[in-house]
Amino acid sequence: MTRDGDPLDRLTPFGWRGGIAVALLLSLVSFIAAGYFTVYWRNADMDFMVIYNALAMNDGGTQLFFDHPAYLTILSVKAWFAQLHRAGLLDAWTLSAIPAASDRAAFDTAMTSAVHAGRVAALLTASGVILAFALLARRLVSDWRIAMLAVTAFAFSGGVQMHLRILRSEMIAASFCILALMLLIVAARRASPARPLAVGLAALLCMLGLTNKVHAILLIAAIPVLVLPFGTEASASVAFWRGSRAWAAVLVAAIAALVAAITAWPLLAAGFDPANAAAAGLKPLLLGRFGVYQLTLLGVIAACMAAFATLWRVSAVETAAALLAAIAGAALGLLALDLSYDINDVVVVLNPLEKMITYVDAPQEAGSLGGAAGLLLSGVVGVIRRYTFILQSSARPTVFLTWLIIPGIVVAFRRGERQAAVQATLLLLAAIGIDALGVRRGLKVEYFVFTDPLIIMAGMILLERLADLSLARFAYPIGVTLLVLHVGISQAEPVKMALKRKGPEEICEWNGYYMPRLPLPWCAPPNSPPRT
């Protein structure tokens, strides 16, 4: 078959930059058609929660929403509102600028403008993440066409398409961790003098992700193991890390790690203080003490770095520098909590599993080892049912990729492409494991941003190693079918939300708790202090 008839060429007709532009343009069209103009209270959970906090903080108040804790999302919306106000584009930028609920028309107008501004912030955030994903995807595979298909799959995954029109904490949290994983894979494949800096940046991204959503801890815990099989012959340390000058770099890394750790120590002490944790309603998960599994995770990270060094001939000096860089990066990420300090944020971020247990549908069972294992097993069964799509449908187009990835792993093993098969297998298993825990909260479409990229990366890796399969007779029609299904199904949930006819009354169940100073016109006045 000539290149003119290559299915990959036909599936990527707009080229690399053109393809990315088309993906962003179609996302914008979808955002406008089913998102921007949707009634302002339709996605109140969490649109209202984030916007309320941004309005209150712009009025000089403090952040209130600490559930998981949406820290960076709230700060970014706060800054966005202030910038729009300075540009004369938003009057409703503070809580005091929102009219009283008794003036329904004025209240609706003000809240509509605030929510519209928030939705634009969500669109800009998602667009930035898509571009960052594209940049790193291009580095992960040699064929830009495969990278372009991965970018398309990511941009039109169920989670991304949902998040680009609503304000939620998952987008930033998951994306930062996924980008950290991609950065580490790129760094793992080819050595350079600056590789420890990439490790430090990845640690920074992971910690920033955790400050926005505690569920990111599951992805963070998987990353050290996922990176292990991505070494190559080019992974061995370069000459710099085998010479005497390397020790000077280690000394600099040690100083940076020490300074960052000392600076972050008050946050650590406050977050693990039993009194502070108890005040936040948390109970220790292991051995009756806070911080146990966190130290265990640090040990696992160090062990995985040592294992990678052994497998792929990375010098002990470079490994030490990378570990120190990771400590410095994580500490710097934690220091972001000082931008708008609140002890509740600190406690929740440093004790993520304790907080997550309060969300599950069976918290008593999750508190014991046997009960947790049972919940995990039932979660795995639930994930498998969803991945079949037939046993349980969902607005998740990436499930169709798994139908090709699993056979692709088998083919890769049989062809001797064992490293690619192991890489794809670990990525898929990580997705299944994280989704299995997400089942305990219904595995909502918003959670797909944590695992869809893992599935997409597995497919991208396999397609590169099994590129000859793209020349098979039915490759093009299968590819077209998958693309059409992918884009179509990704719009199911947004369209469903836009067309819903249900009223806003259910917001009254929680608005008094999450928005005590913002009475809503359709709710009875909450038992809370009046607005000032």
- DSSP conformation letters of 472-502: STTHHHHHHHHHHHHHHHHTHHHHHHHH---
Identify residue 90 by its one-letter amino acid code. L
User: 371-415 pLDDT, tens per residue?
Assistant: 556 666 777 787 788 787 777 777 788 988 999 999 999 999 999
Distance CA 280, CA 77 (A): 25
Per-residue pLDDT at 366 exceeds 80: no
Report the run of H or E that residue 199 belongs to, with start and end. helix 195-212
User: 275-317 pLDDT, tens per residue?
Assistant: 999 999 999 988 889 999 999 999 999 999 999 999 999 999 9
- What percentage of the chain exceeds 90 in pLDDT? 80
- What percentage of the chain exceeds 70 in pLDDT? 94
Long-range (24+ apart) CB contacts under 8 A made by 93-98 are 93/55, 93/58, 94/55, 94/58, 94/59, 95/52, 95/55, 95/56, 95/58, 95/59, 95/61, 95/517, 95/518, 95/531, 96/59, 96/531, 97/55, 98/55, 98/518
Q: Which two tokens stand for residue 165?
A: 């029109």
Distance CA 76, CA 129 (A): 15
Q: Which two tokens stand for residue 469?
A: 């399969």
**In the prediction, which pLDDT does 1 show?**
38
**In the prediction, which pLDDT does 531 show?**
40
> Locate tokens 């009875």: which residue?
524
Secondary structure (3-state) at 520:
coil
Question: How buried is 52 (Cβ within 10 angstroms: 0-12 exposed, 13-18 middle, 19+ buried)?
Answer: buried
Q: Provide mean pLDDT across the span 447-476.
A: 92
**In the prediction, which pLDDT does 72 show?**
97
**In the prediction, which pLDDT does 288 show?**
87
**In the prediction, which pLDDT does 466 show?**
93
Q: Provide mean pLDDT across the span 4-32.
A: 94
CA distances from 280 to 64, 67, 301, 518 (A): 13, 10, 28, 24
Name which of 258-267, 437-446, 450-459 the model is least confident about. 437-446
User: 495-529 pLDDT, tens per residue?
Assistant: 998 888 899 999 999 999 999 999 999 998 754 44
Residues 6+ apart with CB under 8 A from 289: none
